[in-house]
Amino acid sequence: MVIKNSTSWRTDDLRMLFRRAIKEVEKIEKPNRPFHKINRYYHWDILNSSSGLRGRARLYGRWMMIKIPKEWIIKTEMPVKEDAIIESGKYRFNSISGSYSWITLDNPEDISKYPHYWKVVGELDEMEFEQKKELGRTIIHEYYHNLGAKTQDAQNYRNDWTKNWNVDWVKDYPIRKKPIILKPQVDIKLMRYQRAIKNLRRAETRLSRAKTLYKKWFGKVKRYEKVYNFKVAN
pLDDT on residue 197? 93
Same-domain pairing of 162 and 196: no
pTM of the predicted model, to two decimals? 0.67
Q: How far apart are CA 192 and CA 204, in angstroms?
A: 18
Within a domain: 180: no
Within a domain: 179: no
Same-domain pairing of 197 and 230: yes
Same-domain pairing of 15 and 86: no
Secondary structure (3-state) at 193: helix
Same-domain pairing of 68 and 83: no
Within a domain: 150: yes
Is residue 18 a contact partner of residue 139, using CB atoms and an 8 Å limit?
yes
Same-domain pairing of 9 and 109: no
Same-domain pairing of 92 and 146: no
Same-domain pairing of 196 and 147: no
Q: How far apart are CA 125 and CA 128, in angstroms?
A: 9
Within a domain: 166: yes
Same-domain pairing of 6 and 98: no
Same-domain pairing of 62 and 144: yes
pLDDT tens digits in sequence order for the chain, 234 residues long: 999 999 999 999 999 999 999 999 999 888 888 899 988 999 999 999 988 899 999 999 999 999 999 889 988 887 665 455 455 556 666 665 666 667 777 776 777 777 766 777 888 899 999 999 999 999 999 999 999 887 655 555 556 777 888 999 999 999 999 987 777 888 888 889 999 999 999 999 999 999 999 999 999 888 888 887 766 554
Residue 50: which domain range? 2-72+126-172
100, 120, 7, 53: CA torsion to nearest 10: -50
Q: How far apart are CA 100 and CA 102, in angstroms?
A: 7
Alpha-carbon distances, residue 91 vs 6, 75, 106, 115 (angstroms): 36, 21, 10, 14
Within a domain: 62: yes
Task: Give 67-121 as a 3 state SS string.
Answer: EEEHHHHEEEECCCHHHCEEECCEEEEECCCCCEEEEECCCHHHHHHCHHHCEEE
In the chain, how many domains are there? 3
Is residue 170 a contact partner of residue 131, using CB atoms and an 8 Å limit?
no
Within a domain: 55: yes
Q: How far apart are CA 123 and CA 105, in angstroms?
A: 28
Same-domain pairing of 192 and 103: no
Question: In the chain, which ranges are continuous DSSP H helix?
Answer: 11-29, 35-38, 129-146, 154-157, 188-228
Same-domain pairing of 11 and 45: yes
- Helix H or strand E encompassing 65: strand 63-69
Please state the φ and ψ torsions of residue 22, each to the nearest 5 degrees.
-65, -40
